[in-house]
Chains A and B, each alone.
Chain A
Amino acid sequence: RKEVEQDPGPFNVPEGATVAFNCTYSNSASQSFFWYRQDCRKEPKLLMSVYSSGNEDGRFTAQLNRASQYISLLIRDSKLSDSATYLCVEEGGTYKYIFGTGTRLKVLA
């Protein structure tokens, strides 16, 4: 069983919509989680870290649900430029970063 699981999508949403992705993880002891964004044929870049208390950065909100072992990413007021693949990452131990396969988002005009 893969340790970090994501719905591959694609999620096709109109501009201005709100969209949410979930990512499940299997190691209940994991402490740190992240969302990275990867544009087509580019390298991943950190979008935001996920804290136990939740984390908000502009239109983006990340949350952690330890009881159900998932993290979520909410994007409000989607822009065309939000089109990308969003990678969920779990820090499963020292230097052990487990990447999900990504959820593809397409924002349509």
Chain B
Amino acid sequence: DVKVTQSSRYLVKRTGEKVFLECVQDMDHENMFWYRQDPGLGLRLIYFSYDVKMKEKGDIPEGYSVSREKKERFSLILESASTNQTSMYLCASGLGGSGETQYFGPGTRLLVL
């Protein structure tokens, strides 16, 4: 079974703090993704990576950065957290290619005060 793990299930941070969300997958997948999910808006892609050290902006990259130093690990960084970044953050991985299945981690529910 594919396993995607995320470093925290729940996180509470203060405005202006730097926040690190980590994601690890164990299936040697090429692609990894970070989404945020908000009520009424669905999942929105923040960043994705198709290889080590490679990254591409998704639909809403502002206020976020990412790092992929190893194939199995994809980190999302909030340089200076703001209240509008309160959300559910979901990491996913996929084998690549058209029609790939995405495997999601359990999510991190982030509250920024």
Contacts and interface: CB of A to CB of B under 8 A. Distances in A.
A44 interface: yes
Interface of B: 31, 33, 35, 40-45, 48, 50, 56, 90, 98-99, 101-107
Contact of B43 (A31, A44, A45, A94): A44
Interface residues of A, number: 20
Interface of A: 4, 31-32, 34, 42-46, 49, 87, 91, 94-97, 99-102
Contact of B106 (A42, A49, A99, A101): A42
Nearest to A2: B42
B99 A49 contact: yes
Contact of B99 (A32, A44, A96, A100): A32
A87 B99 CA distance: 16
Given A32-B99, A101-B41, 14 more contacts: A4-B42, A43-B105, A43-B106, A43-B107, A46-B101, A49-B101, A87-B42, A87-B43, A91-B99, A95-B31, A95-B33, A96-B45, A97-B45, A101-B40
A101 B107 CA distance: 17
B102 A46 contact: yes
25 contacts: A32-B98, A32-B99, A42-B107, A43-B104, A43-B105, A43-B106, A43-B107, A46-B102, A49-B99, A49-B101, A87-B42, A87-B43, A91-B99, A95-B33, A95-B48, A95-B56, A96-B45, A97-B102, A99-B35, A99-B42, A99-B43, A99-B44, A100-B42, A101-B41, A102-B42
A34 B102 CA distance: 10
A102 B35 CA distance: 15
B104 A44 contact: yes
Contacts of B101: 34, 46, 49
A46 B33 CA distance: 15
A43 B37 CA distance: 10
Nearest to A102: B42
A31 B97 CA distance: 12
Contacts of B107: 42-43
Contacts of A31: 98-99
